[in-house]
Amino acid sequence: MATGNWMFILAACAVAAVAVAVWLIRRARVTPADRERRRRLSVSARGRVGSATITDYHDGIVSYTYTTGGVEHAATQDISALLALLPQDPVTGIAQPASLKYLLRNPANSIVLAENWSGLRFRAPSDSSANHARKGAE
């Protein structure tokens, strides 16, 4: 093989190595929180809407179930970074219906809340004294 061919192959390998190194460095700088934010926004933008049921909420983690294509899924989502989007008492959403977004190619990749979308529905806390006060005012 001619010397020029070897030089070309060596240069191509060097360029590929530099590209991989740059990609690894850039990927290493992405924090897990930023990676999760990107995932939420991606599913929010490209996801298909479905129905879910909230099964639990504890310490910023919401659990829910849903069915796609006849397969029942149970999922959790860490929404602790999105607490400002929740009502004061998120526990009121337990056992309530919700909407979710999931990726068609990977239905297990789902969300019920993102920065720009919410499938959560919260009922007002039942306060019998507030109901009585309203009836008395009428």
Residue spans of the domains in the chain: they are 1-27, 32-118
CATH fold for the domain made of 32-118: OB fold (Dihydrolipoamide Acetyltransferase, E2P) (2.40.50)
Higher pLDDT, 31 or 26: 31
Q: Is 114 within 8 Å of 44 (Cβ atoms)?
A: yes
pLDDT band for position 101 (50/70/90)? Answer: very high
Between the ranges 19-23, 43-47, 86-90, where is the mean pLDDT highest? 43-47
Cα 35 to Cα 55: distance, rounded to the nearest angstrom: 25
Task: Please tell me whether residue 6 adopts helix, strand or coil conformation.
Answer: helix
**pLDDT recorded at residue 125:** 54
Q: Is the dihedral of CA 98, 99, 103, 105 positive or negative?
A: positive
Q: Please name the amino acid found at residue 49.
A: V
pTM to 2 decimals? 0.69
CB atoms within 10 A of CB 72: 8
High-pLDDT (> 90) share of the chain, %: 56
Q: Can you say how many angstroms the Cα of residue 86 is from the centroid of all Cα atoms in its chain?
A: 15
Burial 9-23 (b: 16+ CB within 10 A, else e): eeeeeeeeeeeeeee
